[in-house]
Amino acid sequence: MGGFGGNYSGDIFIAFSTANPGAADREKAPLLKMIANDKMSGLFEATAQATEESILNALVAAETMIGKNNTTVFELPEERVIEILKKYGRIKK
């Protein structure tokens, strides 16, 4: 939760293809439609933002639980989390 990966950033991303049908055909040279590599940074930033949002949602949705060896993991108080995120400029809510 900070920066985002951009084109040539060196960050590692896991991705999947939504290429047009036949794009991976090894028998012939298929026509391929794609976004230019230097136009991908916006996609990387959107992916990072969506991941951040998922992490925050998971943090505040979690409930106190007792696990192995009676280890208790406490839920985070949502209002306090929001207060801290505001304090450090991570959200503007």
Spatial distance between the Cα atoms of 71 and 18, rounded to a whole number of angstroms: 43
Q: What is the pLDDT of residue 14?
A: 66
Spatial distance between the Cα atoms of 84 and 29, rounded to a whole number of angstroms: 54
Instruction: Please report, in angstroms and rounded to a whole number, the separation of the first and last CA atoms in the chain.
Output: 17
CA 20 to chain centre: 24
Q: Which tokens go with 10?
A: 């060196």
What are 11-68's pLDDT values in tens digits? 666 666 777 888 878 888 877 777 887 888 888 888 888 888 888 888 788 899 999 9
Q: What is the pLDDT of residue 6?
A: 64
What are 65-78's pLDDT values in tens digits? 999 999 999 998 98
Sign of CA dihedral 21, 27, 29, 34: positive
